[in-house]
Structure 1
Amino acid sequence: MDLDVTYVLIPGAGGSAFYWHRVEPLLRERGHDVVAVDLPAGDDRAGLAEYADAVVSAVGGRTGLVLVGQSMGGLTAPLVAARLPVRLLVLLNAMVPRPGESGGQWWGNTGQDAAARRMAARDGRSGEFELESWFFHDVPDEVREAVFARGEPAQSGTPFERPWPLDGWPDVPTRFLQGRDDRLFPVEFQRRQARERLGIDIDEMPGGHLVALSRPAELVERLERYRVAAGWRAEAG
């Protein structure tokens, strides 16, 4: 087993490591260590600093870190990358913060709502948010049912209230992978966000906002391509 590679998987809103339950075994089959993190999302005392603490604690002394931040996890992942020897940071359908900007301010500052409504109008959908049609439209029925059976995870507003604390993006190689069918963060919106805030281009793959649930094998293949391009061996073991 090639334990020099550790995938650290940070979920989005709700903070549940279960989001990665279809991805984690596929990465382990390829010989990698995997840490899927549960965040204290339901704790009103916990902000992004506490989220980062949870990730750092879960990682422990592991090395060869590939950090993957999904959606809201894009606010936490760079805080972790500033504290641990991360070799690669992958943003997945992610929010990209600016120094001093709160998570709550991000929505208006980026124009997310207008972008999502434009996409909905083009697709002939209502612009009003609805969980199943916006998030689970491409997730297999049995997977969606398994997620819903766990109940709706709590998400405190605390992480959205405080300014993002870093002075700039950490000096870590960063890739941005975006589902081209994402209805919450449309691909053209994400393309602009990545260029304006990070100065990088996005890579696209099929799938909506929850690609770890809808297309885990293809997601793993994309992550592995990033790993190889970053200088690790093409084959584990």
Structure 2
Amino acid sequence: MSSEKIVLILIFCLSMMSWGHCKDRKHFVLVHGACHGAWSWYKLKPLLESAGHKVTALDLAASGINMRKIDDVDTFAVYNQPLLRLLATTLPNQKVILVGHSLGGLSLAHATDEYPQKVERNVFVSAFLPDTEHRPSYVLEKYGERTPTSAWMDTKFEPSGNKTSMFFGPMFLTNKLYQRSPVQDLELAKSLVRPSSLFLEDLSRQKNFSKEGYGSVPRSYIVCTEDIAIPVDYQQWMIQNAAVNNVLSIKGADHMVMNSKPRQLFDALQNIAN
């Protein structure tokens, strides 16, 4: 065989390997929960990137380093604007995998309802999981009914315009969210959390998420077995209520699974993506 043919075969093989790598590469968009920000994904983001994926961890309005204040964010749509803007500017042939934690599950549903053609899959990580049969606030309302006031510990709730703001206190962070996470992550959270809101007043007035939008995109749920904030039985109830079949479980994970079990969360997302 001539040297020219050998070179051509090598080029062809390399190009096929490269094409296969690009085909398997995903774009993960990580959406944080209430009072948190993009910073909460600092362990997971490099793990996904080291596997060749593109990763965007964003701050929703009045979160992380976003300059808005929660008093100036009157609706959930405004709160979710950074995610909507990201999907609006995503190229038509480049779908993303949305990963939402805690309240971030509502952000996923809202954004997917607006841009279903831009989303390959929604992944709910110990997150509030809405359906298409009830108003968007339904899973939050049911959660409120089963959660006694005392469970919120030192969380502060205050009137804020046409809504109620919420700010996690150090006792709540320690005992309800980060009880199995490294103490360094707890201290980081104490320094970086900001007032947020569940936007119950606004979400209770919005129309149901549509079957043609949010309901048309595949969904996965990652259960965290030691979550005290959103207990396993409530996670399972939401999964059944929304008829989600693709369910994974991470044993020993508290609510902040990205801190307590980052490698296991990475493995679960790899499993879902593949």
Equivalent pair of 1:5/1:66 in contact (CA under 8 Å): yes
User: Helix, strand or coil for the counterpart of 1:162?
Assistant: helix
| Correspondence 1:48 to 2:91 | no
Per the normalisation by structure 1, the TM-score is 0.80
Quick one: percent identity of the two aligned structures?
23
Q: 2:181 aligns to what?
A: 139
Quote the offset at 1:13 in angstroms.
Answer: 0.2
| Correspondence 1:57 to 2:64 | no
Max Rg structure: 2
User: Helix, strand or coil for the counterpart of 1:68?
Assistant: strand
Quote the offset at 1:142 in angstroms.
Answer: 1.6
Q: Partners in 2 of 1:86 and 1:212 — Cα distance?
A: 22
| Correspondence 1:97 to 2:130 | yes
| Correspondence 1:13 to 2:34 | yes
Q: Partners in 1 of 2:36 and 2:60 — Cα distance?
A: 5
Q: 1:220 aligns to what?
A: 266
Query: Which amino acid is the alignment partner of residue 155 of structure 1?
Result: S
Deviations along 1:15-35, whole A, 9 cap, x unmatched? 511111111111111111111
| Correspondence 1:153 to 2:194 | yes
Quote the offset at 1:131 in angstroms.
Answer: 2.6
Q: 1:38 aligns to what?
A: 59
| Correspondence 1:167 to 2:210 | yes
Q: Partners in 1 of 2:131 and 2:215 — Cα distance?
A: 12
Q: Partners in 1 of 2:202 and 2:100 — Cα distance?
A: 19
Deviations along 1:176-229, whole A, 9 cap, x unmatched? 10100000111122111210233536321120111012111110110000000x
Equivalent pair of 1:180/1:204 in contact (CA under 8 Å): yes
Equivalent pair of 1:2/1:32 in contact (CA under 8 Å): no
Equivalent pair of 2:61/2:80 in contact (CA under 8 Å): no
User: Helix, strand or coil for the counterpart of 1:88?
Assistant: strand
Q: 1:233 aligns to what?
A: none
Query: Which amino acid is the alignment partner of residue 181 of structure 1?
Result: E
More displaced, 86-95 or 62-71?
Answer: 62-71
Mark the CA change 1:216 to 1:31 in structure 2 (over 3 Å): closer, same or farther.
same
User: Helix, strand or coil for the counterpart of 1:147?
Assistant: helix
Equivalent pair of 1:37/1:58 in contact (CA under 8 Å): no
| Correspondence 1:188 to 2:233 | yes
Quote the offset at 1:139 in angstroms.
Answer: 0.9
Cα RMSD of the aligned pairs, angstroms, is 2.6
Equivalent pair of 2:177/2:254 in contact (CA under 8 Å): yes
User: Helix, strand or coil for the counterpart of 2:237?
Assistant: helix
Equivalent pair of 1:20/1:212 in contact (CA under 8 Å): yes
Q: 1:231 aligns to what?
A: none
User: Helix, strand or coil for the counterpart of 1:28?
Assistant: helix
Q: Partners in 2 of 1:142 and 1:5 — Cα distance?
A: 30
Greater share of helix residues, 1 or 2?
2
Quote the offset at 1:171 in angstroms.
Answer: 0.5
User: Helix, strand or coil for the counterpart of 2:84?
Assistant: helix
Q: 1:123 aligns to what?
A: none
Q: 1:72 aligns to what?
A: 103
Equivalent pair of 2:177/2:256 in contact (CA under 8 Å): yes
Equivalent pair of 1:180/1:187 in contact (CA under 8 Å): yes
Equivalent pair of 2:130/2:139 in contact (CA under 8 Å): yes
Equivalent pair of 1:102/1:162 in contact (CA under 8 Å): no
Q: Partners in 2 of 1:182 and 1:218 — Cα distance?
A: 15
Mark the CA change 1:37 to 1:85 in structure 2 (over 3 Å): closer, same or farther.
same
Q: Between Structure 1 and Structure 2, how many residues are aligned? A: 216
Q: Partners in 2 of 1:162 and 1:218 — Cα distance?
A: 35
Deviations along 1:49-99, whole A, 9 cap, x unmatched? 224431132353252311101110111102222315211110111112345
Equivalent pair of 1:107/1:113 in contact (CA under 8 Å): no
